[in-house]
Amino acid sequence: MVSTRAAIRYAKAMLSLAIDQNIADKVDADMKLIKNTINGSKDLRLMIESPIVKAEVKIASLKEIFADVTEVTKGLFSVLEENKRINLLQAVAEKYIIQYHAYKGEQTAVVTTAVPLTAELETKVLAKINQLTNKKITLENKVDPTIIGGFVLRIGDKQYDASVAAKFRKLEREFNNNLYVSQL
């Protein structure tokens, strides 16, 4: 929780600086690159999170891997390293993307499904969400086989859980409550 709040503070500061320098869209592209690269590389994620790897090595590696990013983004590496928070880099990138989209009047809806959405279904879901929210929405599909079927839709701080796993949990609670009542 504390690291999430810290990541949000860094992201807000980054957005403010990027807006002042008129490069918020370029920094957004940098943050997407950082997020996707760290998500795609277990070795990079482990190196960033490792307490054994020296901070200088982490910074040098990040500057080498992300050589083409803006100076503002490179400055983030240094600030995080100075504050001994380099392990927050991925979280800061994710929070920046959210902050940037909010600044632009856009919102991201995350749909978690057991299998990937087809393009046709994704279009229908996006149309329905746009109709309900009256905002420009981008759709992100996460795949989680543990939900068994159905979907979980998250827009901002609201969540609608229509998954089979949630229905099983509800049924289990009702069964346990009825079992407890019948034992009395």
pLDDT in the model for residue 1: 43
Give the C-alpha separation, 183 to 37, whole Å.
55
Tokens describing residue 17: 């600086």
Instruction: Please name the helix (run of DSSP H) or strand (run of DSSP E) that holds residue 118, with its range, or none.
Output: none
Q: Pick out the chain residues at pLDDT < 70.
A: 1-3, 184
pLDDT in the model for residue 92: 94
Place of tokens 């996006």: 126
pLDDT in the model for residue 43: 93
pLDDT in the model for residue 20: 95
Instruction: Please name the helix (run of DSSP H) or strand (run of DSSP E) that holds residue 155, with its range, or none.
Output: strand 150-155
pLDDT in the model for residue 7: 92
Identity of the residue numbered 64? E
pLDDT in the model for residue 124: 86
* Size (the chain), residues: 184
Place of tokens 């002042």: 20
pLDDT in the model for residue 184: 67
Q: What is the pTM of this model?
A: 0.68
Q: How many CB atoms lie within 10 A of CB 97?
A: 21
Thinking of the domain 106-183, which architecture would CATH place it in?
A: 3-Layer(aba) Sandwich (3.40)
Identity of the residue numbered 184? L
pLDDT in the model for residue 3: 65
pLDDT in the model for residue 171: 93
The domain ranges of the chain are 2-102, 106-183
pLDDT in the model for residue 34: 95
2-102 CATH fold: Peroxidase; domain 1 (1.10.520)
